[in-house]
Chain A
Amino acid sequence: MAKLSVRDVWKSFGAHEVLRGLSLEIDKGQMVCLIGASGSGKSTLLRCLNLLEPVDDGEILLDGQDITDPDLDPQPVRQRIGMVFQSFNLFPHMTAVENVLLAPRRIRRKRREELLPEAEALFARFGLVDRMGHYPDQLSGGQQQRVAIIRALAMRPEVMLFDEVTSALDPALVGEVLDVLRALKAEGMTMVLATHEMAFAREAADKICFLDEGRILEEGPPSAIFGAPREDRTRGFLARVL
């Protein structure tokens, strides 16, 4: 059974249809990269997966359970699905470690001292242990994104969503964030990425989905999509970005 399965999801903002009957299967431990032009629906899909946006129609199953059920409390679902955004991720009035500890403290109802060792271990793993007491504006963009990833991981999610997490970064800082993503994949984390890093997608992804006008026009292993795209529009897109 797929870890996450999206079935015929529709979503519009006003008259603008952003997702038009989109379907997608994500297996446990898979890294799926969503590619496509801006406005093709990548971000909206991720926001729907995290229940930040309600879907208009269709269903999303997490371990076989429909999470789009309006009677369902969305909070426990969000705790199982972590998300990292393009920018304005961290809470600027809190230090890095406070950012990370906020959700576990409020949701797991544990004291700071009990949670600190686990947080410290995460900071140590991503080479940020000396930045724990820093405020976001004292960190580089790459460090901020790594803290944001640590913050999501602190809730021990089963799936991680990444929405263009490197797009706002200096090219020099992109590498350190991608290294973190590789490390997570190596651990077997289920991941969905919206990305423009084609080289990274080609190298690391298990599956590439090309989104076009709110649908998945073409999907497959990187070698197939990048090596021999079937659709003209896929070819056109790749020609523009590569």
Chain B
Amino acid sequence: MRRRSLVIATASTALVVAAIVLLVPLAPGWERVQKAFFNGEVFWKTFPGLVKAFLVDIMIFAWCAPMIAVLGLVIALARDARSPALFPLRLFGMVYNDVFRGVPVILVIYLVGFGIPGLGLPRPWNSPYIWGTVAVVLTYSAYVAEVYRTGIESIHESQRAAATSLGLSHWDVMRFVILPQAIRRVIPANMNLLIALQKDVALLSFIGPVEVLRQAGVYKSLLANFTPYLGAALIFLAVTVPATRWVDRMIARQNAARS
């Protein structure tokens, strides 16, 4: 039975692939599209430059991710503040999340990336790398904070009560009892955000840095050919596909462990 379904799956996949390979080139515009999107010569000429530009993406990602993890947690904790005296903190967390999740990343990048340096900061403090990073960190922290918050709220109230009844402070309850469980629980959701972040750091190119997306755009203008975008897409896929598979496996494992 298992073997039969495997055969069917293989056959139907082969059929679909064959149909695409055979039929698409028959489309009237195929030759033009092929020249503009699948140009081997252009691909090999531009690919090394794209890989080099991708290092810029990796760099930005590498310093954004830890900052987002920390700031997201701080915002989530602000939203969890329970004492009435700390209501302003809660309100701040709420407004922060609403604003930064409601505005497209690119707008924040423009506003922060051009706006703040425009106030008259001297070089190097007006660098687009700094303020672009700030913009991305601000936006993604809002999303990550929501994920953390979901995690915190998913921990049964009795855990908080049990810890509190021992005489632990609010912060100790959070730090030793709630957060270790909550953070573990939301790792898969945060991983998905990391994958999205990995793509969105490319938006920093709008305020100057020449990363892979921009580099592909330059090649495209220079060569009037879209193949460099294909190269850039392949580079992104080479990172995101394994990462996504890995997250999927982690989620599956976590679900299996819980049931």
Contacts and interface: CB of A to CB of B under 8 A. Distances in A.
Residue among B156, B167, B169 having the largest count of chain A Cβ atoms under 10 Å = B167
B167 A91 contact: no
A151 B163 CA distance: 10
Given A102-B176, A106-B172, A89 B166 contact: no
Interface residues of A, number: 27
B91 interface: no
Nearest to B175: A106
B176 A85 contact: no
B249 interface: no
Contact of B167 (A79, A89, A148): A79
- Say whether chain A's binding surface is mostly helix, strand, loop, or mixed: mixed
A52 B166 contact: no
A30 B173 CA distance: 31
B166 A78 contact: yes
A88 B158 contact: yes
- Say whether chain B's binding surface is mostly helix, strand, loop, or mixed: helix
B167 A76 contact: yes
B99 interface: no
Interface residues of B, number: 18
B255 interface: no
Nearest to A106: B172
Contacts of A81: 165
Contact of A102 (B158, B166, B181): B166
A159 to B, nearest CB: 12
Contact of B180 (A76, A83, A93, A152): A93
Nearest to A83: B165
Nearest to A103: B166
Interface string A9-37: 00000000000000000000000000000
Interface in A72-114: 75-76, 78-79, 81-83, 85-93, 102-103, 106-107
Given A93-B180, A102-B176, A106-B172, A151 B166 contact: yes
A185 interface: no
Contacts of A75: 167-169
B165 A50 contact: yes
A131 interface: no
A78 B158 contact: no
Interface string B53-89: 0000000000000000000000000000000000000
A52 B158 contact: no
Nearest to A53: B161
Interface of A: 47, 50, 52, 75-76, 78-79, 81-83, 85-93, 102-103, 106-107, 148, 151-152, 155
Given A81-B165, A106-B169, A155-B166, 15 more contacts: A52-B165, A75-B169, A78-B167, A82-B165, A85-B162, A85-B165, A88-B162, A89-B162, A91-B159, A91-B181, A92-B181, A93-B184, A102-B166, A103-B166, A107-B168
11 contacts: A52-B164, A75-B169, A76-B167, A83-B161, A83-B162, A83-B165, A88-B162, A89-B162, A93-B180, A102-B176, A155-B167
